[in-house]
Amino acid sequence: MPSLEVLELGDNKIRKIENLDGLNIRELYLAKNRIDKIENLGGLKNLRLLSLQANFIHSIENLDALVGLQEIYISQNKITQIENLNMLAKLEILDAALNQVGKISCLDNAILLRELWLNDNKISDISDIKYLGRFKQLETIYLERNPIASSPTYSSDVIACVPWIQQIDSQYLKEKFTYTPMVDTNKEKAKSMMDKMLSNK
């Protein structure tokens, strides 16, 4: 099947990823199966989208050869850390919501990252918000229902670290503003800026 571009195998009882060698597919959907390991994907050189939601995967691995990957959907698994993604320089969307991730890391080379979905995880440290400041294309970030999101300065902290952000969780920030670097003592000022933007929606 040399012309096949999209392969949808979701909602079955697949336990192992296998027998995909030689395919030229651009999109692979394997959500809602019984897969517990990412493997045997190295031959899919043209793959741009990989969907593995709602499986039993414990770690992100064996993706180094898929340098063309632009979208990874791996929510609702058993992942505890973002790892082994440093080779994916073309990554634009990462959805790892509803896992057990405690830290944002191993995305240093994903300079094109536009959307990061990490809601319903275990992220609790402000350093993870600061880490997001390296992604100059980042438009959307979901961190709701993480410990970090319970902070009263959560939204203003995100804006301070990623002033070009357009959406925080379900809140779309329509108004553009000029960013002035702030230290921790200016958090109240940042919160005031956030409140003003939201009141002008």
Domains and CATH numbers, the chain: 1-150 (3.80.10.10)
Predicted model pTM: 0.84
What is the average per-residue pLDDT within 94-100? 98
How sure is the predictor about 2, in pLDDT bands with cuts at 50, 70 and 90?
Answer: confident
Token pair of 134 as six digits: 């390296």
For helices 154-161 and 187-199, angle between their N-to-C axes, nearest 10 degrees: 100
32-39 average pLDDT score: 97
Residue-wise pLDDT for 61-92, tens only, equals 999 999 999 999 999 999 999 999 988 999 99
Q: Does the pLDDT at position 188 exceed 90?
A: no
Question: How would you list the strands of the sheet with 49-51, edge to edge?
Answer: 6-8, 27-29, 49-51, 71-73, 93-95, 115-117, 140-142, 167-168, 171-172
Residue 1: pLDDT band (50, 70, 90) is: confident
DSSP of 47-62: --EEE--SS------S
